[in-house]
Amino acid sequence: MINAGQTIVPKQPELRDRTGRILSDGRIEVDGQVFETPSGAGYYLRTRATNGWGFCLVDPNTKKSLASIRREYLEKSSLEPKRLKMTMTTP
């Protein structure tokens, strides 16, 4: 679905010249800085809170986002997002 080295771009056209790269451990590198989450990378680029899953596009032509990749993964894994959230918050 997504590979190490995959280039990602911001959703906003005015930021498209600022690209990121998915690292082998899942973190994101932008401008030589490494971020633990897509939202961290989005905050860095926009200088405000950002939902990085929707902000980061893996294909600017089709506008496919990290959110859609995540959703596809959860569907293929037979995990529903709500169930995953419940599992993560239940002690």
Q: Where are the domains of the chain?
A: 7-89
CA angle 41, 83, 28 (to 5 degrees): 15
For 62-88, the pLDDT digits (tens) are 999 999 999 888 888 875 555 544 444
For 44-55, the pLDDT digits (tens) are 999 999 999 999
Percent of the chain with pLDDT over 70: 85
> Residue 60 corresponds to which amino acid?
P
Angstrom CA distances, 45 to 19, 23, 55, 80, stand at 10, 18, 10, 30
Residue 34: its H or E element: strand 33-35
| The model's pTM | 0.77
Percent of the chain with pLDDT over 90: 68
User: 10 pLDDT band (50/70/90 cuts)?
Assistant: very high
Report how far residue 28's alpha carbon sits from residue 24's, in angstroms, rounded to the nearest whole number.
Answer: 9
